[in-house]
């Protein structure tokens, strides 16, 4: 009992480290109120909230932690909180704040010679570059992060960066390389014991297999990934799984299933308030509706995609969505 009283955040800390984020929130709510005013409580709360998809609460808690650590002169705590706050801003579509935060966290990490956090920040800056459609920059940061994670044998980080590499390579129309990256991500995720990342890797394997013209394999892998995402309480991963399976269904001529899955994915992304996911799903929905000759609905979907991409500052994506909406309106007459 004395050890628990001496470290009231131990249970919450272990739950976060073990990926049991709902357990972490329960444990955080059970500690004494004075402890809930401290920076570590706010940081753990921010980390749990982010993983559970409550990005606004995560960013607010991380900012509280960052400011308190900075006031104390605790550079390590400030660095960790800055990274989580930036991740919250990123998920909410504030790319300027996210890029500034990740850059500040990386500078602190280099000063502290913290290679793990340096790798994480490189991966996160790559994510920002991807959202801004600077694909070559994104690939460079992802490869930098992958190499750094490999040097310290941090398999979860290796899996994350390989998943990101797979996504960008697929967008660059390099499906063979994308599939290889996703398979390597799955290997790292399984060796690292992360079901959440295994789910994301499987979904990306499915997307790459579909791009290579193998919808049967794509469906099997994406369905497995979707099931794991649900079990891991990863709603964003679940939304991506539904989106990829919609593409598989569409390729197989099962348009009603494709439309249903896209609406399911959109509901998840909307509930999370994740603009990038909303934009991608609306783009897919618009293209499906064009194929079905429902041009008015397609134009509306493209407009929703444009607004979502504008919220994350991705002007090239927003412009592409606007052009697609214009083309749909012309076809509608």
- Of the ranges 13-17, 136-140, 153-157, 298-302, which one carries the lowest mean pLDDT score? 13-17
Inform me whether the pLDDT recorded for 2 exceeds 60. no
State whether 104 and 67 are in the same domain.
yes
Same-domain check for residues 17 and 95 = yes
**Average pLDDT of the chain, as a whole number:** 92
Contact indicator for 204, 215 with CB cutoff of 8 Å: no
Same domain, 27 and 85: yes
Domain coverage including residue 303: 273-333
Residues near 325 by Cβ (< 8 Å), separated by ≥ 6? 286, 298, 299, 302, 303, 306
For residue 155, is it within any domain?
no
Q: Per residue in 132-183, pLDDT tens?
A: 889 999 999 999 999 999 999 999 999 999 999 999 999 999 999 999 999 9
Position 1 scores a pLDDT of 39
Identity of the highest mean pLDDT range in 16-30, 86-100, 195-209, 313-327: 195-209
Comparing 330 with 183, the larger pLDDT belongs to: 183
My answer on whether 243 and 196 are in the same domain is yes
Q: Is 192 among the domain residues?
A: yes
pLDDT band at 327 (very low <50, low <70, confident <90, very high): very high
Q: What are phi and psi of 286, to 5 degrees?
A: -60, -40
Average of per-residue pLDDT across 107-126: 94
Q: What's the structural domain count of the chain?
A: 3
**Predicted pLDDT at 38:** 85
User: 132 lies in a domain?
Assistant: no
The pLDDT > 70 percentage for the chain reads 98
Q: Identify whether 139 is part of a domain.
A: no
In contact, 225 and 241? CB cutoff 8 Å: yes
Q: DSSP code of 213? A: T
Say whether pLDDT at 6 is over 80.
no
In a domain, 268, yes or no: no
250 shares its domain with 289: no
């Amino acid at each position: 009992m004395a050890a628990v009283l001496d470290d009231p955040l131990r249970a919450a800390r272990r739950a976060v480290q073990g990926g049991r984020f709902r357990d972490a929130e329960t444990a955080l709510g059970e500690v004494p109120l004075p402890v809930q005013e401290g920076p570590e409580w706010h940081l753990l709360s921010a980390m749990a909230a982010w993983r559970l998809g409550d990005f606004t609460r995560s960013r607010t808690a991380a900012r509280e932690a960052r400011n308190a650590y900075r006031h104390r002169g605790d550079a390590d705590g400030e660095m960790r909180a800055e990274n989580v706050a930036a991740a919250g801003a990123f998920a909410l579509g504030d790319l300027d704040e996210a890029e500034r935060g990740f850059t500040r966290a990386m500078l602190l990490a280099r000063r502290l010679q913290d290679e793990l956090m340096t790798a994480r920040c490189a991966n996160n800056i790559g994510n920002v570059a991807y959202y801004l459609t600077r694909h070559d920059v994104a690939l460079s940061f992802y490869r930098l992060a992958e190499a750094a994670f490999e040097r310290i044998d941090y398999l979860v980080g290796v899996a994350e960066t390989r998943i990101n590499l797979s996504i960008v390579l697929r967008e660059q129309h390099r499906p063979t390389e994308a599939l290889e990256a996703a398979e390597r991500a799955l290997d790292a995720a399984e060796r690292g014991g992360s079901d959440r990342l295994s789910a994301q890797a499987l979904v990306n394997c499915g997307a790459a297999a579909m791009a290579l013209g193998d919808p049967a394999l794509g469906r099997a892998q994406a369905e497995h990934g979707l099931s794991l995402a649900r079990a891991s309480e990863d709603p964003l991963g679940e939304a991506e799984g539904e989106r990829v399976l919609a593409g598989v269904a569409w390729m197989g001529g099962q348009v009603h299933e494709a439309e249903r899955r896209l609406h399911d994915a959109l509901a998840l992304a909307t509930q999370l308030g994740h603009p990038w996911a909303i934009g991608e799903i609306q783009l897919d929905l618009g293209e499906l509706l064009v194929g079905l000759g429902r041009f008015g609905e397609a134009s509306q979907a493209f407009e929703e995609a444009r607004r979502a991409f504008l919220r994350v500052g991705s002007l090239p994506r927003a412009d592409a969505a606007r052009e697609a909406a214009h083309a749909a309106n012309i076809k509608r007459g």
